[in-house]
Amino acid sequence: MSIDGRLPQRQLSQASLGSRRGAVMAFSEADTCLDIQGLSLAYAGKPALKDLTLRIPRHRVTAFIGPSGCGKSTLLRALNRLHDLNEDVSRRGSIYLDGHDIHDSRVAVSELRRRVGMVFQAPNPFPMSIYDNVAFGLRLQGGLSKRRIDDVVEWALKSAALWEEVKGRLRASAWSLSGGQQQRLVIARTLAVEPEVLLLDEPASALDPISTLKIEELIRTLKPHLTLVLVTHNMQQAARVSDYTAFLHNGELVEYGPTDTLFTHPRLRRTENYITGRMVG
Amino acid sequence: MKIPGHTAVGSKTLRRPHEGPWAWLAAASVALSVLMLGALIVLLSVKGLANFWPSTLHEVILDDGDTVIGVPFEQRTLPGGEGVERRYWIANRDDGGGIWRWLSVPRLASDQTPDDLVVLERRHWGTFFGRLVAVRLEGERLTGEAAWLAMEQRLKELDALRQARQQLTRDDILPLIRRMEREPSSSETQHRLDDRQLQALQARAKELRRLQQGGVLVLENSQGQRQEQPLEEVLDAWRPNAMAWYEKLGHWGGELWQFLSEGPRDANTAGGVWPAIFGTILMVLLMSVLVTPFGVLAAVYLNEVAHQGRLTRLVRIGVRNLAGVPSIVYGVFGLGVFVYGIGGSIDRWFFDSSLPSPTFGTGGLLWASLTLALLTLPVVIVATEEGLSRIPLHQREGALALGATRFETLTRVVLPMAMPAMLTGLILAVARAAGEVAPLMLVGVAKLAPQVPVDGEFPFLHLERKFMHLGYHIYDAAFHSSDVQAAMPLVYATALLLVVVILVLNLTAIFMRHYLRKRHGAPVRR
Amino acid sequence: MSDPTSTNPLYRSRQRRDRLATLLITAGGIGVLLTVIAIAVFLLVEVVPLFWPGADGMSLSALWSAPGTSGEAEFRWLPHRLEEGVVAQASLAPLLWGTLEAAIWALIVAIPLALGAAAHSSLYMTPGLRARMKPTLELMEAMPSVVLGFIAGLVLGPWVERHLAEAVSVVLLLPLAMITLALGHRRLPVPVQRYLSLNSAALWLLPCLLLLVLAAVQLAPLWESWWFAGDLREWVEQRWGLDVQARNAMIVGLAMGFAVIPGIYALAEDALSDVPRNLAEGAQAMGATRWQTLTRVMLPIALPGIFSAIMIGAGRAVGETMIVLMASGNSALMTATPLDGLRSLASSIAIELPEAAPGGTHYRLLLLAALALFLFTFLMNTLAELVRARLRQRFRRSRGDT
């Protein structure tokens, strides 16, 4: 996504490509943004992800669902190498971003994380002003003029549908905002560094219903410009906003396919049990 | 409900059972602890501040006609019902007797407080109690109220002269002499020029000294004996019995200010504590400059960089426990390693010419600050670590997810958030360092060092010099002065000053921590 | 999207800076920690030559030996004799004895007061009062020891010497009055009882205690003249042959107890407050009084924590220098009488080390004393810390969260 609004409008080809599990995917190799190949992760020897293979389409919303502890958040964090911080994590398999291995030793992790932005479950604005929060990532890169930063901050806040609410008090502390506003501020902060992928880890689970709706609305408006990956506990939310859904259980990918298909005609019994609420996490 | 075949265990009344005597003793121990603290502070405040109050002078006549002028201090009952004794501070060390006198209360025939009694603060022989008979000034002899006014006028002049001379010596003469000593080999003409300048300055100083002379007070002590007192030796004079309360208050403020701003006199039993205040502050400042970066560095390493394994945990416990190691042990380390080890080596390498008299190879400001920095290192490390670990993980992840490197996350998000905790730690460290005396006895305080370790001479801050310290001043004045009783009021005042400084520092730390907890208690509404 | 491996130079330099900074922090951090270890290493290295067979000819046993002069064994600390080659007259035993004696007296004063205060504030105090009481007692800990030493040595000591009866009267009357109060409290009318409740006792007892102390002081001459012929001190000397010194072990104990109370209080209070609430509430629900809950339920659980609090207090008491120096008289005596003076390891170091020639036997002996203090306090604190850590882990498990 870029500030100038020149968004690549690509036609999705309808070529069907099966995943390893045999799900029928409605996007081509060229439209694959993230390609996860045989990924296994273990925390201190305990396996958390087991040999996952799936492809995530560009400029679509992909949701990961599954009971708590199924590994969906772990998978999400693997996509921008946030696990690097934890020395107890061991990994096998690879992840490709636009065909390039993100674990390649030549990759600068900080740049990868800029390109693959992330929004967390609890809103985590820094204890600074609203403006400084949004400008944080820009200032890291250095060499930007004050004017330019002003412009980007305004654009990012507009993109996150927060501008109208905060434009008069950009210098106020970010912690003075409500929970929903804080979460949108975090999204704005992430958008400001122009990511290509946005990872959302249960972004609305800590919010009230109205704020949740606003966030979902925002996801829909961002979709044409960004690849979004959403982890959620909320079946309805997955059904409402995602194009593709992956169901994980015990660190394994159980079923992956277009959301409509998965929710209406799940192929596997386990999936059906989960989405109809018969399997409790 | 009843268990069949069982009688009820307890009574059915709903009165609450009584807690018993132990609970009351426990309650009393809280109250007693607080009471002891309060009593200590009140005692210090009263005794410390009362010292500056111009106390009323009594003139008592005993039944055998002996007259005594003095300030009643304390009273005690003699064993065996022999009556009550009262101790008077009678000053006048030059009269030969002590400055204290116990008088039997039943033997007092009269006790009056005449308005014309004066108190003189003198450079030699300490305080004088008595009467002013006359002033001889420039050939004139004044008596009565005129004498008093003339004396007050002259004392003001003398004060101005004294200050002018001090300033001249400090700012002009001493630096010039030092420069000439340092560069004796500079050109002949320069040398002559310097010499002439020095002579001129010294002549001016002599002139100021001469202007101070002249003027004699004729005094009369309690026995009616006359004595002459050169006016230049008198520092201050007042008539406490003739003063109204507001005059007394003004005098009290002046004395307090003198205590805070002047150097000690009479072997630390009189005068002020300014060099000690300055030394304490300077040492604590230096210590803060040393301890903060290293403490924060170690805490950041332990909390952010080191692998969180068994070893790190052990190191952390070790650091925590160092806070419990007696301060004297740090003093021993400072003496052995800093003073004898490093200081000795520096002397051998750079100050070879002045050996065997040591420059850095003896206790001094630098070594004292370093030792105290080491002593307070655990305090800063523990407080900083606590602050760092309190910062939620999602704050760090938020920065990382925006593409910040670990170092950028640290400097831009984590450290600013941990700042209050670091400050709290530093304040606690300063409070601890300000009150520590034992290690300083080994690494660098001086009994009397009127010269503060900062002056106009290069390199301005003299790290190798000894310095005075409030805490040590208390110890020294209380235990090593010739007359402990005479030094007591000053010790009280110094102790009060030290306690006030430390309490203020601690209260600041407590409020900061409170504010910190509150702010971090609810950072995000969920 | 472009190839993520062809990163632009900006990221490279930032990455490099990050690695460099990490390296520096690691180096600095390890350096600081090594300095800390250096303290122990330095003391060890300096002390070892003392036991080198050779020049000094000192053996461990010589430090404890008591050369029998005229039959009777005597332990002596006469370091100035060292220069004359009389090694055997520098026994550390009297110093160790003095250190222990002072510490024990301090703990005798501090333990009941600190534990009582901890029990009261964790059981009875209202949260608001407790939030104020804890920092107040923290201020007590901040009192500089040189001031405590001054008050003990120059104010309290001489006062007690002159007013022995008054001092004894205060010590005896306070607990008696408290027990009377406990028994009398239940007889009070209920509204008064409620007003003067145990929960706020710490506050309203303050003026009561003050009055009691004053009353005790006023009453002292009365009973002194009844039972001790008007002079307790004289009586003590004749009856037991004790001479009451102005600077003695009891005064040291009192001043050092004052210094140690807040440390023990804070840790013991933490230990008691960490006991899971539901346990205490369970006992109270069965009709136990709060005090019974404390002794039967909370105390057994919190005991290790309280022990660690006492250990840390003991560590502080053993190493305290200025109070002993100023209030003890500094005579290296080996008597068990609480009214005699004493001399401790720490105060000997403070007085003698600046005068001892570096590298000499006296110097090394004092360093041995420092090493002993270091090891003792370090071990005490480590033990205490381990006990606390284990205790906390157990509580966490019992609460069921991981």
CB contact under 8 A, B333 and C43: yes
Counted domains in chain A: 1
Q: Is A218 contained in some domain?
A: yes
User: How confident is the model over B305-334, as pLDDT tens digits?
Assistant: 887 778 888 888 888 888 888 999 999 999
Residue B496 pLDDT exceeds 90: yes
Q: pLDDT at position A23, please?
A: 47
Q: pLDDT at position C308, please?
A: 87
B332 alpha-carbon distance from chain centroid: 24
Q: Name the residue in chain B with its Cα closest to that of C374.
A: B325
Query: If interface means Cβ-Cβ distance under 8 Å, which residues of chain A face chain C?
Result: 33, 97-98, 100-102, 104, 106-112, 115, 140-143, 196
Q: pLDDT at position B416, please?
A: 86
Q: Are residues C272 and C369 in the same domain?
A: yes
Which token pair is C259?
A: 């210094």
Q: pLDDT at position A11, please?
A: 32
Question: Quick one: pLDDT band at residue B42, thresholds 50, 70, 90?
Answer: very high
Task: Report the Cα–Cα distance between both ends of chain C, in Å, rounded.
Answer: 43
Q: Is C199 contained in some domain?
A: no
Interface test with A, best of C8, C12, C14 (most A CBs within 10 A): C14
Question: Quick one: pLDDT band at residue B453, thresholds 50, 70, 90?
Answer: low
Instruction: Give SS3 for A16.
Output: coil
> DSSP secondary structure string, B120-147?
EEESSS-EEEEEEEEEEETTEEEEHHHH
User: How confident is the model over B205-216, as pLDDT tens digits?
Assistant: 888 888 877 788
Of the candidates C100, C105, C152, C76, the residue with the CA atom closest to the CA atom of residue C249: C105
CATH at residue A123: 3.40.50.300
Instruction: Give SS3 for C332.
Output: coil
Of the candidates C254, B468, B256, the residue with the CA atom closest to the CA atom of residue B476: B468
Q: Are residues C30 and C64 in the same domain?
A: no
| Contact with chain A for residue C14, Cβ under 8 A | yes
Q: pLDDT at position C399, please?
A: 57
- Bridge partners, residue A89, by sequence: A43
Q: Name the residue in chain C with its Cα closest to that of A195.
A: C1
In the numeric block, the tokens 């019995």 are attached to B241
Q: Are residues C138 and C82 in the same domain?
A: no
Q: Are residues C364 and C274 in the same domain?
A: yes
Q: Is C204 contained in some domain?
A: no
Report DSSP state, residue B56.
P
Question: Quick one: pLDDT band at residue B274, thresholds 50, 70, 90?
Answer: confident
Q: pLDDT at position B371, please?
A: 92
Angle between helix axes B274-300 and C9-47 (nearest 10 degrees) is: 120
Q: For the residues B69-89, what does the mean pLDDT come to? A: 79
Q: In b/e form, how buried is each residue of B217-237, taking b as 16+ CB within 10 angstroms?
A: bbbebbeeeeeebebbebbeb
In the numeric block, the tokens 């199924």 are attached to A70
| Contact with chain B for residue A173, Cβ under 8 A | no
Q: What whole-number distance in Å separates Cα of residue A192 and Cα of residue A163? A: 13
Q: Is A59 contained in some domain?
A: yes
Please confirm whether the linkage preceding B356 is cis (ω < 30° from 0): yes
A112 chain-C contacts, CB cut-off 8 A: 4
In this complex, the chains that touch C, judged by 3 or more CB pairs closer than 8 A, are A, B
Q: Is A206 contained in some domain?
A: yes
Q: What whole-number distance in Å separates Cα of residue A254 and Cα of residue A248? A: 5
Q: What whole-number distance in Å separates Cα of residue B372 and Cα of residue B295? A: 13
Q: Name the residue in chain A with its Cα closest to that of C15.
A: A108
Q: pLDDT at position A20, please?
A: 41
**Where is pLDDT greater, at C363 or B44?**
B44
Lowest-confidence region among A102-106, B262-266, C242-246, C396-400: C396-400
In the numeric block, the tokens 């560590």 are attached to C315
| Contact with chain A for residue C80, Cβ under 8 A | no
Q: Are residues C296 and C357 in the same domain?
A: yes
In the numeric block, the tokens 């607990």 are attached to C175
Residue C114 pLDDT exceeds 90: yes
Q: What whole-number distance in Å separates Cα of residue A157 and Cα of residue A131? A: 9
Look up the domain containing A217 and give its range.
Answer: 17-275
Strands annotated E in C54-173: 68-69, 72-73
Write the CA distances from B132 to B116, B209, B235, C159, C384, integer angstroms: 8, 25, 15, 38, 68
Of the candidates C78, C114, C120, C70, the residue with the CA atom closest to the CA atom of residue C95: C78
pLDDT, averaged across chain B: 81
Task: Answer left, alpha or beta for residue B18, where phi above 0 means left and psi between -120 and 50 means alpha.
Answer: beta
In the numeric block, the tokens 């009481």 are attached to C133
Burial bucket for residue B207 (CB in 10 Å: 0-12, 13-18, 19+): exposed
Q: Are residues C39 and C133 in the same domain?
A: no
Number of other residues whose CB lies within 10 A of the CB of residue B199? 10
SS3 assignment for B391-438: CCHHHHHHHHHCCCCHHHHHHHHHHHHHHHHHHHHHHHHHHHHHHCCH
Question: Quick one: pLDDT band at residue C393, thresholds 50, 70, 90?
Answer: confident
Q: Are residues C354 and C261 in the same domain?
A: yes
Residue type, position B3, single letter: I
Question: Quick one: pLDDT band at residue B495, thresholds 50, 70, 90?
Answer: very high
Of the candidates B44, B132, B116, B56, the residue with the CA atom closest to the CA atom of residue B88: B56
Q: pLDDT at position B128, please?
A: 87
Q: Name the residue in chain C with its Cα closest to that of A105.
A: C5
User: How confident is the model over C316-346, as pLDDT tens digits?
Assistant: 888 888 888 888 766 655 565 666 667 888 8
Look up the domain containing C70 and give its range.
Answer: 60-88
Q: What whole-number distance in Å separates Cα of residue B305 and Cα of residue B65? A: 84
Q: What whole-number distance in Å separates Cα of residue A120 and Cα of residue C106? A: 54
Residue type, position B176, single letter: L
Interface test with B, best of C18, C147, C161, C176 (most B CBs within 10 A): C147
Counted domains in chain C: 3
Q: Are residues C381 and C283 in the same domain?
A: yes
Question: Quick one: pLDDT band at residue B524, thresholds 50, 70, 90?
Answer: very low
**Where is pLDDT greater, at B454 or A222?**
A222
Q: What whole-number distance in Å separates Cα of residue B321 and Cα of residue B327? A: 13
pLDDT, averaged across chain A: 82
Interface test with C, best of A107, A114, A193, A196 (most C CBs within 10 A): A107
β-pairing verdict for A244-249 and A252-258: antiparallel
**Where is pLDDT greater, at B31 or C61?**
B31
User: Residue C5 is nearest to which of A107, A115, A196, comparing CB atoms?
Assistant: A107
In the numeric block, the tokens 């005396």 are attached to B437
| Contact with chain A for residue B518, Cβ under 8 A | no
Q: pLDDT at position B78, please?
A: 74
User: Residue B442 is nearest to which of C319, C350, C389, comparing CB atoms?
Assistant: C350
Q: What whole-number distance in Å separates Cα of residue B180 and Cα of residue B183? A: 5
Of the candidates C398, C395, C400, C397, the residue with the CA atom closest to the CA atom of residue C304: C395
CATH at residue C149: 1.10.3720.10
Of the candidates C294, C265, C308, the residue with the CA atom closest to the CA atom of residue C130: C265
Q: Are residues C374 and C268 in the same domain?
A: yes
| Contact with chain A for residue B96, Cβ under 8 A | no
Lowest-confidence region among B178-182, B286-290, B305-309: B178-182
Q: pLDDT at position C67, please?
A: 45
Write the CA distances from A250 to A51, A74, A268, integer angstroms: 12, 12, 15
Task: Report the Cα–Cα distance between both ends of chain B, in Å, rounded.
Answer: 47
CA atoms within 13 A on the CB side of C113: 27
User: How confident is the model over B80-112, as pLDDT tens digits?
Assistant: 666 788 888 888 877 777 778 888 888 888 888
Write the CA distances from A80 to A195, B399, C87, integer angstroms: 11, 13, 72
Question: Quick one: pLDDT band at residue C249, thresholds 50, 70, 90?
Answer: confident
Q: pLDDT at position A9, please?
A: 33
Residue C111 pLDDT exceeds 90: yes
User: Residue C42 is nearest to which of B79, B318, B333, comparing CB atoms?
Assistant: B333
Q: Name the residue in chain B with its Cα closest to that of C38.
A: B333
Q: Are residues C22 and C115 in the same domain?
A: no
Q: For the residues B381-410, what does the mean pLDDT come to? A: 87
Question: What number of C-beta contacts closer than 8 Å exist between A and B?
Answer: 74
Residue C348 pLDDT exceeds 80: yes
Q: For the residues C256-284, what does the mean pLDDT come to? A: 85
User: How confident is the model over C196-233, as pLDDT tens digits?
Assistant: 777 888 888 888 889 988 888 888 878 877 777 767 77
CB contact under 8 A, A82 and B397: yes
Q: What whole-number distance in Å separates Cα of residue B330 and Cα of residue C370? A: 9
Q: pLDDT at position B41, please?
A: 92
C385 chain-B contacts, CB cut-off 8 A: 317, 320-321
A121 chain-B contacts, CB cut-off 8 A: 394
CB contact under 8 A, A98 and C4: yes
Please confirm whether the linkage preceding B459 is cis (ω < 30° from 0): yes
pLDDT, averaged across chain C: 79
β-pairing verdict for A61-65 and A244-249: parallel
Q: Is A139 contained in some domain?
A: yes
User: How confident is the model over B348-388, as pLDDT tens digits?
Assistant: 787 766 666 676 777 788 889 999 999 999 989 988 988 88
Write the CA distances from C60 to B262, C95, C165, C345, C346, integer angstroms: 52, 15, 45, 17, 20
Q: Are residues C297 and C383 in the same domain?
A: yes
Q: For the residues B439-463, what does the mean pLDDT come to? A: 71
Number of H helices, E strands in chain A: 10, 12
Lowest-confidence region among A15-29, B233-247, C271-285: A15-29
Q: DSSP alpha helices (H): ranges in chain A? A: 72-79, 109-115, 130-141, 146-159, 163-166, 179-191, 209-222, 235-241, 259-264, 269-275
CB contact under 8 A, C120 and B29: yes
Q: State how far residue B479 is from chain C, nearest Cα, in angstroms.
A: 8
In the numeric block, the tokens 């710490």 are attached to C202
Q: For the residues B180-189, what does the mean pLDDT come to? A: 70
In this complex, the chains that touch A, judged by 3 or more CB pairs closer than 8 A, are B, C
Q: State how far residue A31 is from chain C, nearest Cα, in angstroms.
A: 12
Cβ C73 vs Cβ C397: under 8 Å: no
Number of other residues whose CB lies within 10 A of the CB of residue B454? 15
Is this complex's ipTM strictly greater than 0.90?
no
* pTM: predicted TM-score of the whole model, two decimal places: 0.81
Residue B261 pLDDT exceeds 70: yes
Residue type, position A138, single letter: L
Across the beta sheet with B67-77, what order do the strands follow?
A: B100-104, B84-89, B67-77, B58-62, B108-112
Number of H helices, E strands in chain C: 17, 2
Which token pair is C143?
A: 């009192």
Burial bucket for residue B54 (CB in 10 Å: 0-12, 13-18, 19+): buried
Task: Report the Cα–Cα distance between both ends of chain A, in Å, rounded.
Answer: 36
Residue C74 pLDDT exceeds 70: no
Q: In b/e form, how buried is each residue of A88-127, taking b as 16+ CB within 10 angstroms?
A: ebebebebbbbebbbeeeebbbbbbbbbbbbbbbbbbbbb
**Where is pLDDT greater, at C308 or C341?**
C308
| Contact with chain B for residue A175, Cβ under 8 A | yes
Q: Is A9 contained in some domain?
A: no
Task: Answer left, alpha or beta for residue B492, where phi above 0 means left and psi between -120 and 50 means alpha.
Answer: alpha
What pLDDT tens digit does each residue of chain A (281 aa) get? 444 443 333 333 333 333 444 445 667 777 888 888 888 888 888 888 888 888 898 888 999 988 888 888 888 888 888 887 777 788 888 898 888 888 887 788 888 888 888 998 888 888 888 999 899 888 887 778 888 889 889 988 988 888 888 888 888 888 888 888 898 899 999 988 888 899 998 888 878 888 888 889 888 888 888 899 999 888 888 888 899 999 888 888 888 888 888 888 888 888 888 888 765 44
Q: What whole-number distance in Å separates Cα of residue A86 and Cα of residue A107? A: 18
Choices 1.10.238.10, 3.30.465.10, 3.30.420.240, 1.10.3720.10: CATH for B274-521: 1.10.3720.10
Interface test with A, best of C11, C13, C402 (most A CBs within 10 A): C11
Q: pLDDT at position A15, please?
A: 32
Residue B526 pLDDT exceeds 60: no
Cβ B439 vs Cβ B331: under 8 Å: yes
User: How confident is the model over B115-137, as pLDDT tens digits?
Assistant: 888 888 887 777 888 888 888 87
Q: Name the residue in chain A with its Cα closest to that of C13.
A: A108
Domain positions in chain B are 58-118, 132-243, 274-521
Q: Is C13 contained in some domain?
A: yes
Residue B335 pLDDT exceeds 80: yes
User: How confident is the model over C175-187, as pLDDT tens digits?
Assistant: 888 888 878 877 7
Q: Are residues C148 and C287 in the same domain?
A: yes
Residue B17 pLDDT exceeds 70: no
Q: Is C172 contained in some domain?
A: no
